[in-house]
A and B are shown apart, each in its own frame.
Chain A
Amino acid sequence: MITNMENIKNLINNKGVKPTFHRIKILEYLMAHKNHPTVDKIYEDIVKSIPTISKTTLYNTLKIFVDKGIITELTITGSETHYDMKHGDHHHFYCTQCKQIFDVHSNCSYDCNMKESVDGNRIDSYQCYYKGICKNCLKINVI
């Protein structure tokens, strides 16, 4: 348990960010919850263990993590931003029926080795996602 805390602390430290208690806790949460939570969901869960945390701290922390490339933000739904740990490259699928977001793997060359530019334009970040109906909802529709 202690080593886990240490690891997270080092990860934050290595990115040049001061590893405060709140930051460590937020990153620990994101590492444990890979279901692409929104700010509201993160806040709702974190406030249970840290009742004094403010939404502003959460917003600021997430922004720092995004800027430093520790996490990525997904703007799939258009209304709310979802957050995801940077864990390898993958695409996302958003089911328009059950509103779930999950990882899918496509053989995209931009995914695997993260090219630096496209058509002469310099790439800073990249996100690709599919919208449609997931296999579980497809089954329900058939029945």
Chain B
Amino acid sequence: MKTKTNNAKDILLKKGLKPTYQRITIYDFLDKNRIHPTVDKIYSMIHQHIPTISRTTIYNTLDLFLEKRLVMGLTIGGAEKHYDVNVASHHHFYCLKCRQVFDIKINCPFYNDKHPLIDGNLVQETHGYFRGTCKTCAQ
């Protein structure tokens, strides 16, 4: 627990962010629970630990994390953003039945670490979304 918190603190500091207790807790939660949660999910979980936290703080913190590329905002569901602490390029699958988002391994030739340019445009993020029925729901 201690080391995790220290990690989160270091990561925030490295990005030039003041490591407030709220920010550390939110980052820690995302890091430990890689379930691509929505803001509502994050709020309901964090609220149990910090009952005084507001939704605004969560929104502001996530916006800050997005800006500093600490998290990725996935628009796979259409209406709500899902947050992912894994900022390395990878694809996602969204099950229309169980509404779960999970990682898919695809070898995209344009993942930014290998080929930063596509048709002369600089790639900073790659998003690949599949939507359908996951194998668990298909059974």
Contacts and interface: CB of A to CB of B under 8 A. Distances in A.
B130 A118 contact: yes
The interface residues of chain A, by DSSP majority, are classed as strand
A58 interface: no
A120 B125 contact: no
A75 B119 CA distance: 22
Nearest to B136: A121
A118 B125 CA distance: 21
Interface string B81-115: 10000000001010110000000111011101000
A131 B127 contact: yes
A107 B129 CA distance: 16
Interface stretch (A19-27, A29-37, A132-140): A132-140
Interface residues of A, number: 35
A123 B76 CA distance: 13
A57 interface: no
A118 B93 contact: yes
Contact of A135 (B120, B126, B130): B120
B121 A132 contact: yes
A61 B87 CA distance: 36
B47 interface: no
A96 B95 CA distance: 28
Contacts of B26: none
A122 to B, nearest CB: 5
Interface in A53-77: 73, 75-77
Contacts of A120: 135
Contact of A124 (B124, B125, B132): B132
A107 to B, nearest CB: 6
A117 B105 CA distance: 13
B138 interface: yes
30 contacts: A75-B75, A75-B78, A76-B75, A78-B75, A93-B123, A104-B118, A104-B119, A104-B121, A106-B110, A107-B109, A110-B128, A110-B130, A117-B132, A121-B93, A121-B133, A121-B135, A123-B131, A124-B133, A126-B129, A128-B129, A129-B126, A130-B125, A130-B126, A131-B124, A132-B112, A132-B121, A133-B121, A135-B121, A135-B122, A138-B121
Interface of B: 73, 75-78, 81, 91, 93, 95-96, 104-106, 108-110, 112, 118-135, 138
* Those 8 A-B pairs whose CB atoms lie nearest each other, nearest first: A135-B120, A75-B75, A132-B124, A131-B125, A124-B132, A120-B135, A128-B128, A123-B132
